Amino acid sequence: MLSEPRSGRLAAWGNALLAGLVSPDDAVLAMVGDDAVHRVEGLPGESGPVGLTLAMGRLRSLGVTGLRVALPAPGHPLGLSGPPEFNARALEAEEAVVGFGAPYGLVPEVYEAGPDGDVHVEVVWHCLPVREAPPADVPSLGEAERELAEALREATEVLSRLDVAGSGPVAEAALNAYRARAERGREL
């Protein structure tokens, strides 16, 4: 079982490779992980699928200077900038890698074969055009903290109105402590 998405490995090691911090062979070994093989299909200038080493070199020559991960979910296409074909494939795969410096993105398609315990995994990354966009539409840490505090206040108010939160003096003390912290946060 994977502990991280394939797009995370590709972006992390791809960025290290693009920055000249690791050799192409070491980067590709780390990108592939426990899978049998990874190929890239649809690269400009290539007539068929190519290995990751050649693909990373080709992306660099096309102007890609870095990679970022997109982990979209239905209704929340975080990190996707379009066009619709790229977004649809990324949503289906639930992950993608978007290049910056040149308008290309990669979406994995995973093929598994074999019995349990002896599964052969191949990954084909589809290279597609993307729209140039800011690095990601992720809120800043301050914005995320404000949104979380606001959501907690709203949930507390709803629970208080429903009298679900009131379960004795311990809960009341915790609620008062939370309100005091929230009030101090507003004053800053």
Domain residue limits, the chain: 6-129, 141-187
- Asked if 41 contacts 48 with a C-beta cutoff of 8 angstroms, the reply is yes
Longest dimension (CA), the chain: 72
What would the mean pLDDT of 147-162 be, rounded to a whole number?
A: 82
Distance CA 98, CA 92 (A): 16
Read off the pLDDT of residues 8-58 as tens digits, 9 standing for 90 and up.
999 999 999 999 999 999 999 999 988 889 999 999 999 999 999 999 999
Neighbours of 168 (CB within 10 A): 7
Query: In angstroms, what CA-CA distances link 184 with 63, 108, 149, 154?
Result: 48, 46, 12, 17
**pLDDT for res 116:** 85
Kindly tell me if the per-residue pLDDT of 1 is higher than 50: no
Q: How confident is the model at residue 64 (pLDDT cuts 50, 70, 90)?
A: very high
Q: What pTM does this model have?
A: 0.69
The H-assigned helical ranges of the chain are 6-18, 24-32, 52-61, 84-93, 141-162, 169-187
- Asked if 123 contacts 37 with a C-beta cutoff of 8 angstroms, the reply is yes
What would the mean pLDDT of 146-174 be, rounded to a whole number?
A: 76
Read off the pLDDT of residues 85-135 as tens digits, 9 standing for 90 and up.
999 999 999 999 999 899 999 999 999 888 888 888 899 999 999 987 655
Distance CA 156, CA 40 (A): 49
